[in-house]
């Protein structure tokens, strides 16, 4: 690596570490606050919060690393332009291509890392999060239920008890609400014994109470008084969106669903988009003399917003069949590549020659 490239790489990678580290801290803090709130509300077991936050950060790296690289390249080169160091580099006879070459030394390894995160780490992390949430919300672990509070899960199950004894798994003066879509059931019991807390088929034994079945169409409501009732509660069912995010590459490749193919293309484009974003930042970093290095942040932000929403929009359009699979989600990276080639040609003054 030549002196100029080494200098640019050194300045840039320090800023990448700072920005990515800061973004990870902010994202982890936000995620922890969110899941701690769910744990306090009884919808999530406290013991799984740290694990879920870790998996969430792992998923977020797919976005945080490209953003850190993109902003770092723009700010670092903007500072070099502001200090006239790049002017001196060009005056010494160096080509603008050396700036792109220096950025490629960082962009290619990070692009490969983002690709691996997107293809393998992200779906694995989503699968782990789903298992933890399903187990926490499906099983009736009395240790994370709170007395005198509505403990709910994503399936609409609600448990309310005046007293909870974790040692015996007994709930006193309990109310259980479940819904199956067309009917809602309410069970009132003097005592509830958790006989099977497993996530696959949580089961409770109710003693001395009344059950109410409410037909949403208003035709089949009924009331039952019981002394003993064995109640099987339904587990949390994984929705299609979560399944798609946690699906393996082979499963997505075999699928004929447009939404699955859009998800596959999205994962495949992440590494390429990371490299192209960094190359676009090279040209956007150009500053006039005496401009501050942060003057590049506005155009960088506008372009990133366009790329981010453009990618999400193209994935949605492919999933809905509005855009064909070819180019599909690759439409945005192709447009980015055209932009990079145009900017490189401009920097080399190749576009000006035909008009001389």
Q: Are residues 273 and 224 in the same domain?
A: no
Q: Are residues 277 and 320 in the same domain?
A: yes
pLDDT at residue 145, as a whole number: 74
φ and ψ at residue 195, rounded to 5 degrees: -90, -25
Q: Are residues 14 and 109 in the same domain?
A: yes
pLDDT, mean over the chain? 84
Q: Are residues 225 and 340 in the same domain?
A: no
Q: Are residues 221 and 256 in the same domain?
A: no
pLDDT at residue 164, as a whole number: 87
Q: Is the pLDDT of residue 352 over 70?
A: no
pLDDT at residue 140, as a whole number: 64
Q: Is the pLDDT of residue 221 over 70?
A: yes
pLDDT at residue 341, as a whole number: 92
Tell me how far CA of residue 223 lies from CA of 158, 187, 188, 211, 324, in angstroms. Answer: 19, 10, 11, 6, 54
Segment 144-150 shows an average pLDDT of 77
Q: Are residues 147 and 181 in the same domain?
A: yes
Reduced to 3 states (helix: H, G, I; strand: E, B; else coil), residue 320 is coil
46-99: pLDDT as tens digits: 778 889 999 999 999 999 999 999 999 988 888 888 777 777 877 777 778 888
pLDDT at residue 354, as a whole number: 47
Reduced to 3 states (helix: H, G, I; strand: E, B; else coil), residue 204 is strand
Q: Which is more confidently placed, 186 or 87?
A: 186
Reduced to 3 states (helix: H, G, I; strand: E, B; else coil), residue 123 is helix
102-112: pLDDT as tens digits: 899 999 999 99
Q: What CA–CA distance (Å, rounded) separates 265 from 285?
A: 30
Q: Which is more confidently placed, 74 or 41?
A: 74
Q: Are residues 10 and 40 in the same domain?
A: yes
Cα 332 → chain centroid = 20
Segment 5-13 shows an average pLDDT of 86
Segment 227-241 shows an average pLDDT of 73
274-318: pLDDT as tens digits: 999 999 998 888 766 566 656 677 788 888 889 988 988 999 999
Q: Are residues 122 and 223 in the same domain?
A: no
pLDDT at residue 188, as a whole number: 92
Segment 138-159 shows an average pLDDT of 72
- Domain range for 71 is 3-137+240-355
**Which pLDDT band, with edges at 50, 70 and 90, does 271 fall under?**
very high
Spatial CA neighbour of 24 closest among 69, 63, 50, 72? 63
Q: Are residues 127 and 14 in the same domain?
A: yes
Picking from 178, 201, 232, the residue at the C-terminal end of a domain is 232
Q: How many domains does the structure of the chain reveal?
A: 2
Q: Is the pLDDT of residue 347 over 90?
A: no
Q: What is the DSSP letter of 118?
A: I
Q: Tell the burial category of 12 from Cβ atoms under 10 Å away from its Cβ (0-12, 13-18, 19+).
A: buried
pLDDT at residue 4, as a whole number: 79
Picking from 202, 232, 262, the residue at the C-terminal end of a domain is 232
Q: Are residues 117 and 265 in the same domain?
A: yes
Picking from 232, 264, 294, the residue at the C-terminal end of a domain is 232
pLDDT at residue 135, as a whole number: 66
pLDDT at residue 108, as a whole number: 94
Q: What CA–CA distance (Å, rounded) separates 43 from 29?
A: 19
Q: Which of the residue ranges 8-22, 128-142, 171-185, 258-272 would you say has the lowest mean pLDDT?
A: 128-142
Q: What CA–CA distance (Å, rounded) separates 28 from 256?
A: 36
Q: Which of the residue ranges 37-46, 177-186, 300-309 would you say has the lowest mean pLDDT?
A: 37-46
Segment 321-327 shows an average pLDDT of 88
**Which pLDDT band, with edges at 50, 70 and 90, does 356 fall under?**
very low
pLDDT at residue 289, as a whole number: 59
φ and ψ at residue 95, rounded to 5 degrees: -85, 150
Q: Are residues 146 and 133 in the same domain?
A: no
Q: Are residues 9 and 120 in the same domain?
A: yes
């Amino acid at each position: 690596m030549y002196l100029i490239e080494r200098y640019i790489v050194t300045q840039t990678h320090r800023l990448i570490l700072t920005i990515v580290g800061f973004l990870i801290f902010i994202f982890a803090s936000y995620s922890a606050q969110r899941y701690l709130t769910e744990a306090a509300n009884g919808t999530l077991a406290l013991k799984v919060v740290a694990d879920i936050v870790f998996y969430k950060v792992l998923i977020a790296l797919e976005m945080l690393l490209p953003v850190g690289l993109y902003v770092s390249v723009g700010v670092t080169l903007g500072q070099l332009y502001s200090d006239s160091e790049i002017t001196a580099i060009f005056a010494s006879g160096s080509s603008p291509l050396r700036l792109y070459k220096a950025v490629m030394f960082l962009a290619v390894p990070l692009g490969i890392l983002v690709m691996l995160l997107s293809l393998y780490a992200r779906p694995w992390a989503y699968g782990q999060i789903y298992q933890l949430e399903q187990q926490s919300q499906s099983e009736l672990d009395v240790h994370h239920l709170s007395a005198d509070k509505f403990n709910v899960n994503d399936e609409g199950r609600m448990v309310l008890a005046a007293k909870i004894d974790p040692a015996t798994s007994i709930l006193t003066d309990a109310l259980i609400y479940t819904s199956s879509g067309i009917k809602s059931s309410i069970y009132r019991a003097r005592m509830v014994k958790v006989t099977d807390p497993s996530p696959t088929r949580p089961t409770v034994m109710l003693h001395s109470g009344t059950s109410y079945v409410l037909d949403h169409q208003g035709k089949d409501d009924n009331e039952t008084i019981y002394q003993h009732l064995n109640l099987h509660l339904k587990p949390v069912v994984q929705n299609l969106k979560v399944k798609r995010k946690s699906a393996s590459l082979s499963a997505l490749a075999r699928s004929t669903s447009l939404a699955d193919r859009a998800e596959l293309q999205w994962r495949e484009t992440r590494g390429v988009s990371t490299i192209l974003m960094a190359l676009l930042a090279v040209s956007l970093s150009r500053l006039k003399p005496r401009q501050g290095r942060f003057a590049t942040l506005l155009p960088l932000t506008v372009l990133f917003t366009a790329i981010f929403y453009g990618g999400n929009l193209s994935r949605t359009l492919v999933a809905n069949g509005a855009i064909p699979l070819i180019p599909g989600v690759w439409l945005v990276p192709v447009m980015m590549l055209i932009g990079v080639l145009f900017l490189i040609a401009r920097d080399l003054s190749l576009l000006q020659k035909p008009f001389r």
